[in-house]
Amino acid sequence: MKKALVTGGAGFIGSNVADALLDKGIQVEIIDNLFTGRLENIPKKAVFHQVDIRDEKVHQIFEQGKFDIMFHFAAQMDVRKSVADPAFDAQANILGGINLLQACKKYGVKKVVFSSTGGAIYGEQEKFPADENHPQNPRSPYGISKLAFEKYLNFYHCEYGLDYVALRFANVYGPRQRGDGEAGVVAIFFQKLLAGEKAVIYGDGGQTRDFVYVGDIVKANLLAMNYDKCGAFNVGNGIETDINELFETIKDIVGSKQAQIHEPGLPGEQRRSVIANSLITKTLGWKADFNLREGLKKTAEYFRAKAGR
């Protein structure tokens, strides 16, 4: 039986992946500092360690845990915060990650599946959708830190034989995503509109993103776990949706009558972002099970339940 460590396992994506691993009969331990994660997200069958990935205590967890694989989701994940405080972003996403890799090397972890980014790594795109060979010119410290950690993964593979798969996610949404400051425009729109509060579109709303449902991200992680080689794969639908269209779709699903409210755009954000998924489809057999409206309807059920509606 495999034993997995999930960093950031109290968070949005990490907790969904932890649930799926447990369903497969895999033992799961979770590391999370609960800075943005929530205790309520942690599966009851998982062993939980409240610790920051930058802390030396993680080495004790690795020594005792004897993990076969690490799923690495713990991160500073807000593009805007990375622009405001790039040093903190680097401490969490690069130095924290290196601390984990040192523990992997020392205590015999065989593989890392890393939650990377398919939008922020490429920066302002030259072609649409961007494949994995697209020039990597991130425009935010967040994107820079994710790219840097992919390079560290390759170093640890070449030098120490640690296998890895980097999954470059598009804009992930779905149940358990936070709408109170954590990155995620879908969650913010749902929470605000269901509460009858002002939902703001920054800029003209013409900026585009590739939205992918969290259930499809979980599937990609499970496939990556069983992949016997190393590499980086985009995980997205390959479809551009602008923020105005997203707002109108969510507004329709929740039955809101709020008009669009626009405020000035924010620094560090790309104009267009959409990624190709042909490589992961061909290599791992992945395909999305949910189109945008289907995924948004499932997400609405979660936010309605939280709002008591």
101 and 51 together in one domain: yes
User: Residue 181's pLDDT is what?
Assistant: 57
d(CA 254, CA 248): 10
* Residues 170-183 pLDDT 10s: 999 999 999 875 56
d(CA 217, CA 54): 26
Residue 54: is its pLDDT beyond 90?
Answer: yes
Give the domain extent around 187: 177-209+239-277+290-307
* Residues 223-281 pLDDT 10s: 999 999 999 999 999 999 999 999 999 999 999 999 999 999 987 778 999 999 999 99
107 and 203 together in one domain: no
Q: Decide if 142 is catalytic.
A: yes
Catalytic residue, chosen from 142, 156, 164, 173, is 142
d(CA 28, CA 297): 30
151 and 27 together in one domain: yes
CATH code at 152? 3.40.50.720
Write down the pTM of the prediction.
0.96
Residue 1: is its pLDDT beyond 90?
Answer: no
Strand partners, 235: 169
User: Residue 141's pLDDT is what?
Assistant: 95
88 and 227 together in one domain: yes
62 and 43 together in one domain: yes
Tally of helices (H runs) and strands (E runs) in the chain: 11, 13
